[in-house]
Structure 1
Amino acid sequence: MVITVTELKQNLDKYLRLAETENILISNNGKILAMLSNPHADRIAMANALLGVIPADITLEEALMEKANNSL
């Protein structure tokens, strides 16, 4: 999403909340100046990728136990 500096100033709270889930590009006179983003976006993406590996029919604790047993 691209917004202007003026829009950001007028609705800062709104865009800070949105930045938790998506990148917000800030422009001035048509030029992108900055980006608001979640500082933990890399960790969130990694967690989502790893959760996709765990079968749906076992709990997280069971998956961790299985991993611990396999690494011995």
Structure 2
Amino acid sequence: MSSITATELKTNLSKYLTLASTEDVLITQYGKVIAKLTSPFQDRVSVAESLFGSLPQNTTLEEALNERTNEI
């Protein structure tokens, strides 16, 4: 994860847009983080990776769907 100032972002916007496709970029102003530039695709990948392995290996898709439906 990179951290840059708002002034640096303004000066080199295209560079940081390209960088944001592969990693998060924190934008600071007066030494405090004010924003995060990130790829929407990366967020979905992170969520999917965090769910990987959350169900026991012997659980069927039908059992998982039934459990989810019962929780709602």
Q: Structure 2-normalised TM-score?
A: 0.60
Q: Distance in 1 between matches of 2:22 and 2:44?
A: 13
Q: 1:43 Cα deviation (Å)?
A: 2.7
The structural deviation recorded for 1:4 is: 0.2
- Moved segments of 4+, more than 6 Å: none
Per-residue deviation at 1:40? Answer: 1.3
Cα deviation for residue 42 of structure 1 reads: 3.0
Ranges in structure 2 where 5+ consecutive residues have no aligned partner: 53-59, 62-72
Aligned mates of 1:30, 1:44 — CA distance in 2: 30
For the pair 1:6 / 2:11, whether they are aligned, the reply is no
User: Gaps (5+ residues) in structure 1?
Assistant: 51-69
The one-character-per-residue Cα deviations of 1:18-69 (angstroms, maximum 9, x if unpaired) are 000000000011010000000111333437x97xxxxxxxxxxxxxxxxxxx
Residue-pair matches, total: 52
Q: What is the alpha-carbon root mean square deviation over aligned residues?
A: 2.1
TM-score by length of 1: 0.60
SS at match of 1:40: helix
